[in-house]
Structure 1
Amino acid sequence: MTGSPRNRSRLRSSLLPRRPSRPSGAGALAAGALAVTVLATGCGVVPGTGGDSDEPITVMTWAPEKTSATNKPGMPAFAKAYARWVNAGGGIDGRRLDVITCNERNDSVAASRCARTAVKENVVAVVGSYSQHADAFLPTLEGAGIPYIGGYGITTDEFTSPLSYPVNGGQPALLAGLGRVLADACGPVTLIRPDTIAGDQLPPLLDSGLSAGGHGPAADQRAEEEATEYGGQAERALEASTTDPEAEGCVVPALGDRTSTFMDSFRRARADHPDVRTATVLGSVDQTTVNTTGGASSPYEGSYVTGWYPASSDGLWDPMKDVIKKEAFGDNRIDPADAGVQTTWIAYTVFRQVVESLGGGEVSADTVTRALNGGLKVGTGGLTPTLRWRFQDKLAAVGFPRMVNANVTIQEVRNGRLVSGRDGFIDVTDTLHDTDLV
């Protein structure tokens, strides 16, 4: 069975690569910069880079903080910790790393201001950041030639912009991978997702994986992104997931930070439907979420969870954890199990190798971009496959020309612990490529 024509039509329109716009003038670049925090800048040093080894390399990391929706304070906090750690070891190829951070506030105006600040401060890259408002910041970065390395993968634009260098497969890979798993494990499937532009892209992606496994499309239920309870949605999801008495239904909440709020309502509504299973994507649930919702008695017990990277307990994360221990011990914003923190670590790992590949020459937005576009292969210590960005990759035909890593991992909640559900990665490139998405 395949996804519905309506869903495929919606995805076609959302995945068409947009034509990059350009800033209207120098005044637009200088106006309204947000207050930012600059790490490790010396007195009298002007941010910027050049060929001299004593000049700093300035980059930027942004994410939403202290908002009523999704928050990722660990990403900029870890970026600062990474800079302290790398500078303590002599910097990157002998150059000090300066990190500017910006609160993106889950707001398009704030995201645009963060991008204008990046231009004003002459950063060489935006690294390891999160924003749902790529259409607000990417045109400014593109106009200034600033590469965007390791975004969270929350928007389609991150997989179409020529200056975006994603390190994971974003929501497309997670949802397609989850659909592949649920096609064999579940009867009726119901998706609960935000009633937002980003949320509109989720149903066809989940359906692509379900379709690849011979399963029909999921029931699509929209929900307010900032709701304080989801009793009605939970009841309707349970009703939709129990229409087949001979098959175990599955409910898939994909509400970011609000997933735990949904699960509070779901736990109460589930009393009459104990056999309904839940499944979701990393970023909507992590080990902390499982702990705070009851551990082994959590409504997540038995859930399938797709992620981009190995489980946080894997020894491959030890180098990142060592940085946190040395430079951010006691900083509660930084959770090594958070997918945002993990993405920031991988993004800075990529950036460091790019700078080192320049061999002591000029480090600028242009030289970083040329290195990335020149076929540089970047290793991440086994956390992802070797990364290499080319002008057009295999998924260009379905609207994802910048996606170079469509691998996902399968995790499962067992006895209150989020553990690996299957060894290694699952590559969903063919699932995305072979589905009728364009």
Structure 2
Amino acid sequence: MTGRRLSSLLASVTAAAAGASILTGCGVLPGATGGSREPVTVMTWAPDQTRATNMPGMPAMAQTYARWVNSQGGIDGHELRVLTCNEQNTPAGAAACARRAVRENAVAVVGSYSQNGRAFMAPLEAAGIPYIGGYGLTDDEFTSHLSYPVNGGLAALIAGHGMQLAESCRRVSLVRPDTLAGDRLPKLLDAGLKKASRRGAVDIPAVEDATEYTEQAASAREEAGTEDGCVAAVLGERTQTFFDSFRRLPKATGGAQAADDEDDTAESVRISSVLGSVGQPVIDRTGGARSPFEGAYVTGWYPEADDKSWEPMRKVIQEHAFADNRVDPTDTGVQTTWIAYTVLKEVIESLDRDTITSARIAEALDRGAQVDTGGLTPKLRWMYEDLLGAPDFPRIVNHAVTFQVVRKGRLVAQKPGFVDVGPTVSHGG
């Protein structure tokens, strides 16, 4: 072998080694194979270590999903690269995450959580980056032409919760955040209650990040009354704080035990909430079957956590989360992220292209790419005729919810299957 050929071979080997080092530094997982197709970069953001609601499980689930799919050869031959970002529960943090997604050429933001839609959607829209399967908190997620929600958001939960409570509650108190987003909740809850000719709920605004809620708890219990009264609290992570204050009230009771108590003098106020404010992790942390949430009514977007439809997700978490306790399969944020990445995977596979761009993903979704989530939602599609078209939530395509109840420390189905709340959301919006 001539010296020139040897030098050329050594240069090639060195370049290949350097390339492998660069890829490893970017987070490529051992065993990941993308074939000749280009990698696909996406971002997932959520707040972490803040005073308000935190969702660390969502970025952690995104990373778990990437490890799994890359161990299978990627998505249709494309290695999946996931960027994560702490949104910090602030407009500045959300905007910074969105700008980073643009700067690092993400083709989509997937399965993320933010209350600051106006701050993050503008940079994404300017760059043409679709927002797939956000948690569903902000108006922008249901109005932006580049948002593709997988659930009906907080609007569907609250409207559905009104329908759920209307079946059992004569009077309802609603404790909700004293914010612009919170101001909309009473009208949505009332729309659900009025489906059964129930009177509207008593509206009790509360500071979102308070350390105790004794005053609001006392008002809520008094307004609900003791005869088939219900107290609904929707305060995100502070919901647990509210019900701690509620159960400390003199003679207060915190769940179905009150209705079943043999003591006729016991109060029969039931408590309720929606998934995201109350979920299985919170119930487990607060005592399981002895939790103050025992007997509570809860409205969710998806089947209960023990439903067999979640088995594929559970298997991926078991094999690829590596004991990361942030990735809790019963957490609604983790579940939403799984569904959002299911959408991404099916859309990329439908494109069958060597190069995936944000424009191609958005175009595929707009032209009718349909996603089967294995029973976790109705089939999802975002064509014009699939949109709910509610005045304030035009981008909703999934207006199904589930009615659940806490029994023996577990969230279980109160009634089987999905409940369509589309007409109620339209009326309440």
* Fold-level similarity (TM above 0.5): yes
Could you tell me how far 1:52 is from its partner in structure 2? 8.7
Q: Find out whether 1:262 has 2:255 as its counterpart.
A: no
Could you tell me how far 1:392 is from its partner in structure 2? 5.6
Could you tell me how far 1:287 is from its partner in structure 2? 1.6
Q: 392-401 or 57-66: which moved more?
A: 392-401
Q: What residue in structure 2 maps to residue 129 of structure 1?
A: 112
Distance 1:221 1:233 in 2: 7
1:119/1:394 CA distance change after superposition, 3 Å? closer
Deviations 1:206-262 (A, max 9, x none): 1110111211111111111111111111111111111xx6x3110001000001111
2:372 to 376, 379, 390: 379
Q: Find out whether 1:177 has 2:160 as its counterpart.
A: yes
Q: What residue in structure 2 maps to residue 42 of structure 1?
A: 23
Deviations 1:13-57 (A, max 9, x none): xxxxxxxxxxxxxxxxxxxxxxxxxxx97158799xxx9943210
Max Rg structure: 2
Q: Find out whether 1:66 has 2:49 as its counterpart.
A: yes
1:281 to 271, 274, 281: 274
Could you tell me how far 1:300 is from its partner in structure 2? 1.4
Distance 1:124 1:192 in 2: 39
Deviations 1:314-340 (A, max 9, x none): 111111111111111321111100000
Distance 1:323 1:46 in 2: 19
Distance 1:380 1:174 in 2: 19
Contact 2:46/2:88 (8 A) holds in 1: yes
Structure 1 segments unaligned to the other structure (5+ residues): 1-39
- Matched to 1:258, the amino acid is R
- Matched to 1:271, the amino acid is K
Q: What residue in structure 2 maps to residue 208 of structure 1?
A: 191
Distance 2:53 2:25 in 1: 37
Question: Percent of aligned positions with the same letter in both sequences?
Answer: 57
| Secondary structure in 2 matching 1:220 | strand
Deviations 1:264-303 (A, max 9, x none): 1111116246310011100111122122223233221211
Q: Find out whether 1:415 has 2:408 as its counterpart.
A: yes
Distance 1:270 1:259 in 2: 19
Give the alignment's TM-score, normalised by structure 1: 0.86
Q: What residue in structure 2 maps to residue 164 of structure 1?
A: 147
Distance 1:86 1:46 in 2: 14
Give the alignment's TM-score, normalised by structure 2: 0.88
Contact 2:174/2:231 (8 A) holds in 1: yes
1:302/1:72 CA distance change after superposition, 3 Å? same
Q: 386-395 or 273-282: which moved more?
A: 386-395
Contact 1:390/1:402 (8 A) holds in 2: no
Q: What residue in structure 1 maps to residue 256 of structure 2?
A: none
1:394/1:372 CA distance change after superposition, 3 Å? closer
Structure 2 segments unaligned to the other structure (5+ residues): 1-20, 29-33, 254-266
Could you tell me how far 1:73 is from its partner in structure 2? 0.1
- Alpha-carbon RMSD across the aligned residues, in angstroms, is 1.9
Distance 2:374 2:239 in 1: 31
| Secondary structure in 2 matching 1:167 | coil
| Secondary structure in 1 matching 2:190 | helix
1:139/1:354 CA distance change after superposition, 3 Å? same
Q: What residue in structure 2 maps to residue 357 of structure 1?
A: 350
Contact 2:246/2:252 (8 A) holds in 1: no
Could you tell me how far 1:360 is from its partner in structure 2? 2.6
Could you tell me how far 1:395 is from its partner in structure 2? 2.6
Q: What residue in structure 1 maps to residue 399 of structure 2?
A: 406
Deviations 1:42-89 (A, max 9, x none): 158799xxx994321000000000101100000001101110110011
2:228 to 231, 248, 254: 248
Distance 1:270 1:364 in 2: 60
Q: 116-125 or 210-219: which moved more?
A: 210-219
Q: 289-298 or 338-347: which moved more?
A: 289-298
Q: Find out whether 1:190 has 2:183 as its counterpart.
A: no
1:41/1:218 CA distance change after superposition, 3 Å? farther
1:229 to 205, 212, 215: 212
- Matched to 1:369, the amino acid is A
1:394/1:119 CA distance change after superposition, 3 Å? closer
| Secondary structure in 1 matching 2:249 | helix
Q: What residue in structure 2 maps to residue 317 of structure 1?
A: 310
Between Structure 1 and Structure 2, how many residues are aligned?
A: 391
